[in-house]
């Protein structure tokens, strides 16, 4: 077999297969070129999902005749810096593009036209059809550059078979533009598909963080803007900024988690692991938060030359980056205090339904008034069952509701929910979920300071288990002792419990031991329990918290509210569910037609 050189056209088509996987890939390359050119407005138009037309126009610096000629040659770029030895520097890449492959690759498989005008210069046009170059020639046009791609992959028909439906390809284009727009709030973007406008994102101005949040809210949704926390941290020259959602604003997948490195949107397992670690205390494992994080790092500390599409990166010190992400997110969550997402109250209000038709309003009001005044009701009024709401008569009326974010306790419903009055509404608290979070936070704090205090049992508890579960628990006895739980073997399938964490009080010890055994069955034997604190302490806290069905007096309810206000993360339980719902008086009045 004879070794031979591939033709230029074949080389370009191979490169196109790596760089231009689908229409969205071409859009990404063109928009990145516009950003590198300093554009403040970028307009994208596609037809047939990008098969028949992709057009990208910008108001960037533009190109002259010489530059537009070089732009369509392979490995010709203006973006790669030169080091002190006069060599191309691949270690300090600060631009979006640098390979010089995109335009010649696109031109090799489509009909490509580039019209560009540098400021103060003459507009020029270059045509490339299946790798055949024509031009540059004088043209008409404004400052900036307009690139049109027609009949993408017509020169490689087999590639067309792998494209998806028009809707799927258009959606992929939209997602690419959204990611680039998120990282560039100071640039305006529009996207049209045929005659439909899919995106219209005006250029955001003003304060950097405010502008970024407006852009994120425009793309990720208004609710994200209302329920996100500002993230800002710096460590060893690495800067992290962005926004992360409250734990109670969560999703069933991780599609709303975005990481940008030096302005470049990337897909990286690092963010998935870091976000999961930061939110581990607050969300069930099948729920995911929404985040948009922007990392600024010395280009020499990150390799963006991993993949032709530049969608993956490698960090020189991945541990440092992950630690910064986790600590910054945890700090932001701690600063949120007891705050819960606005979607919680919105969902609650959405669940309310009018009890009677509007036409019966006056009749029902009369009945209620009669009962209240101990007067005979109108005909047809039957007896009432015992109320399920227990109003507190002994609450401290000297406590003004306006002084407390979660208000003052006024009643208990079904011996499960505490109702408090705030200055401008009411708060309904799930007493078990709230106390579970409080106990958990106390255990974590105690473990980090003086250790978890133990309470000896007057009569040790004997818990019968299956043999493997008993073995797992005894193998971790020393670590469990550090968490305040003292156990010892009492036979091949039996565990003796001598001490429990004092914070748990009068808890279901047998149930606790069995649940801990189940938790340990899911853990790797090499993982220390302190590393899985959220799992073990969460189980303990659940068994030691105030149970639903327990009657509380007013003082106990108010104490619960005050501790919630003083405890970080108390707006959600250990599984990400809200611990309270706040309803504004204006919303309640609307439910009753008063507004």
| Model confidence pLDDT, tens digit, residues 229-286 | 899 999 888 899 999 988 878 887 888 889 898 888 887 777 778 888 888 777 777 7
| Model confidence pLDDT, tens digit, residues 466-510 | 888 899 899 889 888 888 889 999 988 999 999 988 877 777 788
Report residue 40's pLDDT band, with 50, 70 and 90 as the boundaries: very high
415 torsion bin: left (phi>0), alpha (psi -120 to 50), beta (else) = left
pLDDT at 19: 66
Q: In what order do the strands lie in the sheet containing 228-235?
A: 228-235, 238-245, 291-296, 257-261, 264-266
* First-to-final CA distance of the chain: 85
Q: Which two tokens stand for residue 586?
A: 């204006």
The residues that bridge with 315 in the sheet, in sequence order, are: 302
Report residue 44's pLDDT band, with 50, 70 and 90 as the boundaries: very high
| Model confidence pLDDT, tens digit, residues 433-467 | 888 888 888 877 877 777 778 889 889 999 998 88
Q: Measured in whole angstroms, how far is the alpha carbon of residue 30 from the centre of its chain?
A: 28
Cα–Cα distance measured from residue 298 to residue 235, given in angstroms and rounded to the nearest whole number: 12
On the CB side of 535, CA atoms within 13 Å amount to: 19
Report residue 568's pLDDT band, with 50, 70 and 90 as the boundaries: confident
Average pLDDT, the chain: 79
Residue 242, SS3 per DSSP: strand
| Model confidence pLDDT, tens digit, residues 86-124 | 654 455 455 555 455 778 888 888 999 999 999 888 999
Closest CA to 300 of 280, 316, 323: 316
pLDDT at 23: 93
The residues that bridge with 314 in the sheet, in sequence order, are: 303
Task: Provide the whole-model pTM.
Answer: 0.65
Query: Is CATH 3.40.1350.10 the right assignment for the domain spanning 8-80+93-201?
Result: no
By percentage, how much of the chain surpasses pLDDT 70?
75
Cα–Cα distance measured from residue 14 to residue 404, given in angstroms and rounded to the nearest whole number: 66
* Superfamily of structural domain 389-595: MutL, C-terminal domain, dimerisation subdomain (3.30.1540.20)
Highest mean pLDDT among 80-94, 520-534, 541-555, 568-582: 568-582
Give the fold, CATH level 3, of 211-335. Ribosomal Protein S5; domain 2 (3.30.230)
pLDDT at 169: 94
Span 288-302, average pLDDT: 87
Domain assignments of the chain as residue spans, ordered by start: 8-80+93-201, 211-335, 389-595
- The alpha carbon torsion through 561, 565, 567, 571 (nearest 10 deg) reads 80
Residue 580, SS3 per DSSP: strand
By percentage, how much of the chain surpasses pLDDT 90?
24
pLDDT at 543: 65
């Amino acid at each position: 077999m004879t070794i031979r050189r591939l033709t230029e056209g074949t080389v370009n088509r191979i490169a196109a297969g790596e760089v231009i996987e689908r229409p969205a890939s071409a859009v990404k390359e063109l928009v990145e070129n516009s950003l590198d050119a300093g554009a403040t407005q970028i307009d994208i138009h596609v037809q047939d999902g990008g098969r028949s037309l992709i057009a990208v126009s910008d108001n960037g610096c533009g190109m002259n005749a010489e530059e537009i000629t070089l732009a369509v040659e392979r490995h010709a770029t203006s973006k790669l810096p030169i080091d002190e030895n006069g060599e191309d520097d691949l270690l300090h890449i600060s631009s979006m593009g640098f390979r010089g492959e995109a335009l010649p690759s696109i031109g090799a498989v489509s009909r490509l036209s580039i019209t560009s005008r540098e400021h103060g210069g003459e507009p020029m046009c270059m045509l490339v059809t299946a790798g055949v170059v024509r031009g540059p020639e004088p043209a008409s046009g404004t400052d900036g550059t307009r690139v049109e791609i027609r009949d993408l992959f017509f020169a490689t028909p087999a590639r067309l078979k792998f494209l998806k439906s028009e809707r799927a390809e258009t959606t992929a284009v939209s997602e690419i533009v959204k990611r680039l727009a998120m990282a560039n709030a100071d640039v305006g973007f529009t996207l049209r598909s045929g005659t439909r406008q899919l995106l219209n994102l005006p250029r955001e101005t003003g304060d950097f963080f405010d502008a970024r949040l407006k852009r994120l809210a425009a793309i990720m949704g208004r609710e994200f803007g209302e329920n996100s926390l500002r993230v800002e941290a710096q460590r060893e020259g690495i800067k992290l900024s962005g926004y992360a959602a409250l734990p109670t604003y969560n999703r069933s997948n991780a599609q709303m988690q975005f990481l940008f490195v030096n302005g470049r949107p990337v897909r990286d397992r690092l963010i998935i692991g870091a976000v999961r670690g930061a939110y581990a205390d607050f969300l069930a494992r099948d729920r995911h938060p929404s985040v948009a994080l922007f990392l600024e790092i010395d280009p020499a500390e990150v390799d963006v030359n991993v993949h032709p599409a530049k969608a993956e990166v490698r960090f020189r010190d991945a541990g440092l980056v992950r630690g910064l992400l986790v600590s910054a997110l945890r700090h932001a969550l701690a600063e949120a205090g007891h705050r819960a997402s606005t979607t919680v109250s919105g969902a609650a209000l959405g669940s309310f339904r009018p009890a009677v038709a509007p036409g019966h309003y006056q009749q029902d009001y009369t009945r209620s008034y009669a009962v209240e005044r101990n007067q005979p009701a109108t005909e047809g009024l039957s007896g009432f069952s015992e109320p399920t709401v227990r109003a507190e008569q002994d609450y401290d009326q000297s406590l003004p509701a306006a002084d407390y974010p979660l208000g003052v306790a006024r009643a208990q419903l079904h011996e499960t929910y505490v109702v408090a009055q705030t200055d401008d509404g009411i708060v309904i608290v799930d007493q078990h979920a709230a106390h579970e979070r409080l106990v958990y936070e106390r255990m974590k704090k105690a473990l980090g300071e003086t250790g978890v205090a133990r309470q000896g049992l007057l009569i040790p508890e004997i818990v019968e288990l299956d043999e493997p579960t008993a073995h797992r628990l005894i193998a971790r006895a020393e670590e469990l002792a550090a968490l305040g739980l003292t156990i010892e073997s009492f036979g091949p399938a039996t565990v003796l419990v001598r001490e429990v964490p004092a914070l748990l009080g009068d808890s279901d010890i047998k149930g606790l031991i069995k649940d801990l055994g189940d938790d340990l069955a899911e853990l790797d034997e090499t993982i220390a329990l302190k590393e899985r604190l959220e799992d073990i302490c969460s189980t303990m806290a659940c068994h030691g918290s105030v149970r639903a069905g327990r009657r509380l007096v007013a003082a106990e309810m108010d104490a619960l509210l005050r501790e919630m206000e003083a405890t970080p993360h108390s707006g959600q339980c250990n599984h990400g569910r809200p611990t309270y719902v706040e309803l504004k008086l204006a919303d309640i009045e609307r439910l009753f037609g008063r507004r």
